[in-house]
Amino acid sequence: MIKQPSPPLTLLSMLLLLFVLAGCSEQSTEHKTIRLAHALNTAHPVHLGMVRMAKLADEYSKGTLEIKIFPNQQLGSEREALELLQIGSIGMTKVSSAALENFVPELRVYSLPYLFGSQEQTLKVLNGEIGKELLLAGEDYWMRGLTYYDAGKRSFYTKDKPILTPDDLQGLKIRVMESQMSMNMVREMNGSPTPISFGELYTALQQGVVDGAENNPPSYLTSRHYEVAKYYSLDEHLMLPDILLIGTEVWDDLTEQEQEWVQAAADSSARYQRQLWAEAELEALKTVEESGVEIIYPDKQPFIDATAALFEKYKATEPDFYNLIKRIQEAQK
């Protein structure tokens, strides 16, 4: 018996086959890579926090969502990383809130000296309504804040003499971030603010381009600035948080599930990083002191008094900004 050939597929059966194949395609998950650039070295607690975030994102997504980290200014300074984020050349970055004030005006508030009273009060603000509101303030500028990393308290370190009072800053060139608020602060304390890239600061200190700088203990240690600036005065004038950002275009390209993975990984990494930070601060102070650094504990009140006028000047000139300051102060009570 001659076997008859199978009948050709009908139009209906062909459409059914295509539908099945399309459904299989939709269920497969596309691998996505987000590039994260920052300026810190790989020993820094904030970098280690971001490494934790990348690991968690990989675990949550079962390997389909990769966060690739480029530390040590490999892709540029903090300002350059922000510009790359805005145009979509990188997907994420971590910067000091001070670097953001030129992009997101509301974030200037974190650069006001002695804004926060304690670590507990700082976390109360950052983890509360105001902190979340300010994380999203950059969305109009193509950047969305995911979380805050602890960057400790910033204090002055100098080459030739210790800083005991604001008057000791008279005539000294002090490196500051590219922040108008930081420059105003140093001027109020009688110093001469000098914006320099963090990556260039060691050489600038070594060659006498600046007389000193200001930063937190772990950064002072890991940058090796203690080798050329042996006086560290713990006036603790700023408690600037670091902010982890994602480009809004990248965020919007993620599925709702992927957004949840990224946010959960970021939140978990921030809690982990705070633990590392507390340990790193103690270890940094111990290490630099053992290396010959003179650690000074000045009376903070003269520094507070010297900068108090910075708050009140906004009452008449920028009432909305002044109200934000007052909300933060009230939220700490």
Percentage, residues of the chain above pLDDT 90: 83
110-166: per-residue pLDDT in tens? Answer: 999 999 988 899 999 999 999 999 999 999 999 999 999 999 999 999 999 999 999
102-122: per-residue pLDDT in tens? Answer: 899 999 999 999 999 888 999
Q: Are 220 and 157 in contact (CB under 8 A)?
A: yes
Q: Residue 69: pLDDT above 50? A: yes
Q: Residue 260: pLDDT above 60? A: yes
Q: What angle separates helix 319-331 from helix 119-126, to the nearest 10 degrees?
A: 120
CA Rg value for the chain: 25
Residues 42 and 139 in one domain: yes
Q: Residue 28: pLDDT above 90? A: no
Residues 160 and 202 in one domain: yes
Q: Which domain holds residue 143?
A: 31-150+241-283
Rounded-to-integer distance, Cα 245 and Cα 132, Å: 13
Quote the DSSP letter at residue 138: T
What does residue 64 show for φ and ψ, rounded to 5 degrees? -95, -10
Residues 185 and 226 in one domain: yes
Largest alpha-carbon pair distance within the chain?
110
Provide DSSP, 178-220.
S-HHHHHHHHHTT-EEEE--GGGHHHHHHTTS-SEEEE-HHHH
Asked if residue 98 is part of any domain, the answer here is: yes
Q: How many CB atoms lie within 10 A of CB 48?
A: 18
Q: What is the pLDDT of residue 156?
A: 98
Residues 183 and 233 in one domain: yes
Residues 103 and 190 in one domain: no
Q: Residue 38: pLDDT above 90? A: yes
Residues 215 and 146 in one domain: no
Residues 215 and 320 in one domain: yes
Q: What is the pLDDT of residue 195?
A: 94
Q: Residue 14: pLDDT above 50? A: no
Residues 39 and 87 in one domain: yes
Residues 113 and 142 in one domain: yes
Residues 108 and 248 in one domain: yes
Here the CATH number for the domain that contains residue 202 is 3.40.190.170
Q: What is the pLDDT of residue 29?
A: 56
Residue with tokens 């975030």: 53
Q: For the chain, give me the number of helices (H) and strands (E)?
A: 15, 11
Asked if residue 105 is part of any domain, the answer here is: yes
Tell me the pLDDT of the chain averaged across its residues.
90
Q: What is the pLDDT of residue 208?
A: 97
**242-247, strands of its sheet edge to edge:** 65-70, 32-37, 92-96, 242-247, 143-149
Residues 291 and 169 in one domain: yes
Q: Residue 306: pLDDT above 50? A: yes
Average pLDDT value for residue range 212-220: 95
Asked if residue 47 is part of any domain, the answer here is: yes
Task: Give me the number of domains the chain comprises.
Answer: 2
Q: How confident is the model at residue 16 (pLDDT cuts 50, 70, 90)?
A: very low
Asked if residue 24 is part of any domain, the answer here is: no
176-204: per-residue pLDDT in tens? Answer: 988 889 999 999 999 999 999 888 999 99
